Amino acid sequence: MIHQARKRFGQNFLSDPNIIRKIVDSIAPQAGQRMVEIGPGLAAMTDPLLERLGKMEVVEIDRDLIALLKERYSPDVLTIHEGDALKFDFGALGPDLRIVGNLPYNISTPILFHLADFADQVRDMTFMLQKEVVMRMVADPGSSEYGRLSVMLQYRFRMGRLFDVPPGAFRPAPKVMSSIVRLVPRPTESLEAKDDTLLRKIVTAAFGQRRKTLRNTLRDFIDEAGLSALGIDSGQRAERLSVADYIAITNACHAKRA
Ligand code: SAM
């Protein structure tokens, strides 16, 4: 059956066998590992992953694709979770989970934030995303790409951009360049926010108006004296602060409110 790619589900199917092999090699699946793929589509990656794993799980939203997957694989080999990955409870799949996927680009940021909530149960995650999003994920303080996504993901994960994938590797070809990124949860003990919701609020406020200084954007959370006690100049803008600075602000604010 021929499947017509659906734009609303961000469907660009991988079709270059060399690129598919390179991605699967970079994931390095081994039998016995617990793996879930987000958006298997026409199984371009699922198939070679299954060859090495023996069995795995997938989360797919498109009913037509689910029907194709059911025709092709027995339930002993492929467990199919039908539905929206944005609402999926990855924690229910058990510990030491490996998550992979050529993610639908139209939901890349919300899905990354959703997945960050499961960092404790995850061994690693390897994703294809728009290159521009990957550059934002791994950006260093001071760069124009550094923002809320960088801080919130770097708080939870060590991340590395592995390689780029050109539009010609997909059918239909997307308009943008893609990159493969690996995320490995990092131990939080050394750098832990006392309140993750507060951290998210502070980072959102700081970057919500990134041209303004911290003394303005963080007014509701901490005053100038508080910032200066942490060695942070309140005349700076959000992009100058490290992840550790945001955690220090969160913890100072938390201590004051407690
Ligand atoms: N993995 C396939 C490949 O590499 O050729 C397909 C990748 S395509 C970029 C994205 C896939 O994610 C499609 O199969 C699409 O139907 C699925 N998808 C889109 N939105 C989704 C969602 N919210 N939850 C689960 N799957 C989704």
Minimum CA distance residue for ligand 1 atom 10: 104
Cβ burial of 85 (10 Å; 0-12, 13-18, 19+) is buried
Between CA 118 and CA 88 the distance in angstroms is 11
Distance from residue 12's CA to the centre of ligand 1 (Å): 8
Closest to 100 measured CA to CA, from 39, 51, 52: 39
| Choice from 4, 7, 8, 13 to test ligand 1 binding pocket (greatest atom count within 8 A of CB) | 13
Q: pLDDT tens for residues 94-126? A: 999 999 999 999 999 999 999 999 999 999 999
Task: Note the pLDDT of residue 166.
Answer: 98
4, 6, 11, 63: which to mutate for ligand 1, most atoms within 8 A of CB? 11
Q: Which residue has the tokens 């939203």?
A: 61
84 pocket-lining for ligand 1 (C-beta < 6 Å): yes
Check residue 1 and give its pLDDT: 60
Neighbouring CB atoms inside 10 A of 161's CB total 15
Q: Is the CB of 10 under 6 A from ligand 1?
A: yes
Q: Output helix, strand, coil percentages for the chain, rounded to the nearest 5.
A: 45, 20, 35
Average pLDDT in the chain = 96
If one counts every other C-beta atom within 10 angstroms of the C-beta of residue 228, the result is 11
Asked whether residue 32 is marked as a ligand-binding residue, the answer is no
The pTM of this model reads 0.96
- How many angstroms is it from 156 CA to the middle of ligand 1? 24
- Split at pLDDT 50, 70, 90, the class of 257 is confident
Q: How far apart are the first and last CA of the chain?
A: 60
CA of 56 to the centre of ligand 1 (A): 16
- In which band, very low, low, confident or very high, does the pLDDT at 133 lie, cut at 50, 70 and 90? very high
12 is in an annotated binding site: yes
Look at residue 159 in the predicted model and tell me its pLDDT.
98
- Segment 58-76 shows an average pLDDT of 97
60 is in an annotated binding site: yes
Q: Is the CB of 239 under 6 A from ligand 1?
A: no
What's the confidence (pLDDT) of residue 194?
95
Distance 6 CA to ligand 1 centre (A): 10
Closest ligand 1 atom to 170 CA: 5
The pLDDT of residue 78: 98
